[in-house]
Amino acid sequence: MARLNVSTSFVLCIQGHLFSIRLFMEIILGLGRMIVMELKSKEDILEMLEGYEKIVLFGDSGCAQMCDVGGILQLEDMTDFLADHGKDVLGYVFVEGGLCDEFATKQELEKHKNMLEEADAFLVQACGVATQNLTEMVPEKISLPAVDSDFLGTMPERFHHDERCSMCGECVLDLTGGICPITRCAKGLLNGPCGGSMDGMCERDEDTECAWQLIYDRLREIDKLDNIKRIWEMKDWSKKHGPKTIVHEAKDALFQ
C-alpha cells in the first residue's frame, strides 16, 4: 500500500477518465448492460413523500442515468416537479459510477453533509439496491424509492431495454450458444421449446421471439446441436434462493 504513489494515482486517474468515456460511449453506441428500471408514477411519488417537506434527490451515472431515471437531467426534472408541488428540494447527490458502490457514495455523502442533515427524506432515483444502501448508511433519514427495478438487461439503443439475465446462480450459456433460456423463454424451460413456438415467435404475444428457436438456430450455426439433443436434468433452484452473500477471498494475484 505504501507503494501507492503518484504514478499509480496518475494511472487510476486516467482509468477514471476512461470510465467516463466508456459510459459516454455506452450511451451513444448502446452497449449498456444494466439493472433496468422505470420511474414510478407522479401520483405514487407524491403520495410517498406526503409529510416530508425537505427532500434531497439521489442519482448516479451508472444504471440510473442509462435508464433515464436518475441522471442529471432527471434529477433536475424531479427538482422542478417537486417544487411545483410545494416541496422544498434542497438539492441532489449525484454519484459517479453507482449508488451501489458504497465507497463512492460515502464520498459524496461526506461532500453534501450539511445539506443532508437538513433533509426530511431522500428520494432515490436508482434501483432498490441504492435505496437500501442509503437506508443502511444514513439510518437517521428516510430513503424512498422513486423507481421500480424491473430486470437485468441490455440497451440496444437509448430508451430501449431487453431482459437478458435472471441471476439464477448457475450459468448455462455455454450450452445454449449464448442465449439464456431461463430468462428469454417465457416459461424458463430447460428442454424447450414448448408446443406454443410458431414461426420463431412465442405463444405469449406476437412481439416476443421464441428463445428456443434462437438457441436452435445459433447452435446449428456453431455445430453444437448435440447440446440440446439430450435431456437437461432438473435445475437446482436452491442456487437462486436469496438472501445471498458472497465474500471473495482478497488476494493480489492479478497485479503481482
Which residues would be at the binding site for other proteins (CB under 8 A)? 1, 4, 8-9, 12, 15, 101, 103-104, 107, 170-172, 175, 186-200, 202-205, 210, 212-213, 216-217, 228-237, 248-255
Nearer to other proteins, 103 or 159 (CB): 103
Going by C-alpha positions, the residue among 150, 170, 172 that lies closest to residue 162 is: 150
Cell of 141: 433519514
In whole angstroms, the minimum distance from the beta carbon of 144 to other proteins comes to 25
In whole angstroms, the minimum distance from the beta carbon of 30 to other proteins comes to 25
Neighbours of 84 (CB within 10 A): 8
Nearer to other proteins, 179 or 190 (CB): 190
In whole angstroms, the minimum distance from the beta carbon of 87 to other proteins comes to 32
Nearer to other proteins, 18 or 29 (CB): 18
Query: Which residue intervals of 85-202 are DSSP H helices?
Result: 102-111, 113-118, 128-137, 181-184
In whole angstroms, the minimum distance from the beta carbon of 99 to other proteins comes to 15
The number of residues in the chain equals 256
In whole angstroms, the minimum distance from the beta carbon of 85 to other proteins comes to 31
Torsion sign (Cα): 125, 131, 133, 135: positive
Nearer to other proteins, 5 or 114 (CB): 5
Going by C-alpha positions, the residue among 52, 108, 48, 45 that lies closest to residue 78 is: 45
Nearer to other proteins, 50 or 233 (CB): 233
Sheet holding 147-157, edge to edge: 32-39, 147-157, 160-165
Rounded CA gap, 31 and 90, in Å?
34
Rounded CA gap, 256 and 253, in Å?
5
In whole angstroms, the minimum distance from the beta carbon of 172 to other proteins comes to 7
Going by C-alpha positions, the residue among 87, 65, 50 that lies closest to residue 147 is: 65
Nearer to other proteins, 30 or 188 (CB): 188
